[in-house]
Amino acid sequence: MDDRFNTASGWVLFAGIVALGASIGSGMYFHADSHEYPEGQDWGYFVEGAEEEGGADAGPDLGTLLASADAAAGEKVFAKCTACHTIEQGGANGIGPNLYGVMGKAIGGHAAGFAYSSALSDHGGQWTWENMDAWLKSPRAFASGTKMSFAGLSKPEDRANVMEYLASMGGAPAKPAPAAPEVEAGEGEEAPGAGPGPVEGAEAGAAEAAGAMSADQPVPAANAGGDNEGAAKID
């Protein structure tokens, strides 16, 4: 009894030693503790992800947006600007300048007595529709170093509506015209067979049939005789 138990225990111990040794050996071979792959092993291939392209639709051009801009909607968006600006004629300057009649005026100089930052006073140019659109989109991008902390209006429709509201308070220069729609290739070209002329397979009218005859076609003479086969022979 004791011999059998000792023998079985020995075999179990031996099997455990073999399993432990195999585990250690395989771990060393396959670099279990590292992320490196053993040399000479083919592990398939990696698929490189295609870089995503930003292809956000640019949307309608500025002229098209302004053609349908709504001053009432712009007034609602402008409400967030009233913490710093007044817009009524003769209104006082606040943290920002009074904005009555700002459209078309010099950048950084339309409100008398207001201390503009050098980023605006040295910018140059006028508040055109294009410049105002860029300013409302991102003041810091338009004039780096400006004291205005407003982040900007990301929606083009909101900017167009605000500019329409500004234009209603003191006027503005002429709006840019909407861009002409692009004409697709082949549009407007006549298809084969289009236009005047006979259509294949259609019966010709009397006028067309008469016009198709040539004046030089031979006419059978009055004295045309018959040949041996009875067919008319032209002299």
pLDDT digits (tens, 9 = 90+) for 191-222: 455 555 555 555 555 545 445 444 455 555 55
Task: Please report the pLDDT score of residue 34 as a whole number.
Answer: 47
> Is 233 domain-assigned?
no
Task: Please report the pLDDT score of residue 198 as a whole number.
Answer: 54
Pick the last residue of a domain from 123, 138, 168: 168
> Is 179 domain-assigned?
no
Mean pLDDT of 33-44: 42
Task: Please report the pLDDT score of residue 149 as a whole number.
Answer: 86
Find residue 225's DSSP bridge partners: 233
What's the rounded Cα separation, in Å, for the pair 78 and 163? Answer: 9
HSE, CB side, 13 Å, CA atoms: give it for residue 53. Answer: 2
Task: Please report the pLDDT score of residue 59 as a whole number.
Answer: 82
Residues spanned by the domain of 77: 62-168
87 with 158, same domain: the answer is: yes
Q: How confident is the model at residue 1 (pLDDT cuts 50, 70, 90)?
A: low
20 with 114, same domain: the answer is: no
pLDDT at 62 over 90: yes
> Is 23 domain-assigned?
yes
Compute the mean pLDDT over every residue in the chain, rounded to the nearest whole number: 75
68 with 164, same domain: the answer is: yes
Please state the pTM of the whole predicted model: 0.56
**Contact partners, residue 172, CB within 8 Å, separation at least 6:** 103, 104, 129, 163, 166
Pick the last residue of a domain from 168, 198, 226: 168
Task: Please report the pLDDT score of residue 228 as a whole number.
Answer: 46
pLDDT at 167 over 70: yes
Task: Please report the pLDDT score of residue 48 as a whole number.
Answer: 34
> Is 205 domain-assigned?
no
> Is 5 domain-assigned?
yes
What is the number of domains present in the chain?
Answer: 2
88 with 129, same domain: the answer is: yes
74 with 30, same domain: the answer is: no
> pLDDT (tens digit, 9 = 90+) per residue, 67-117?
999 999 999 999 999 999 999 999 999 999 999 999 999 999 999 899 999
Element containing residue 226 per DSSP (H, E): strand 225-226
Q: How confident is the model at residue 2 (pLDDT cuts 50, 70, 90)?
A: low
> Is 207 domain-assigned?
no
143 with 75, same domain: the answer is: yes
Pick the last residue of a domain from 168, 188, 219: 168
What's the rounded Cα separation, in Å, for the pair 159 and 150? Answer: 14
28 with 94, same domain: the answer is: no
Share of the chain above pLDDT 90, in %: 49
23 with 81, same domain: the answer is: no
Q: How confident is the model at residue 40 (pLDDT cuts 50, 70, 90)?
A: very low
CATH number of domain containing 127: 1.10.760.10
Task: Please report the pLDDT score of residue 3 as a whole number.
Answer: 66
pLDDT at 35 over 90: no
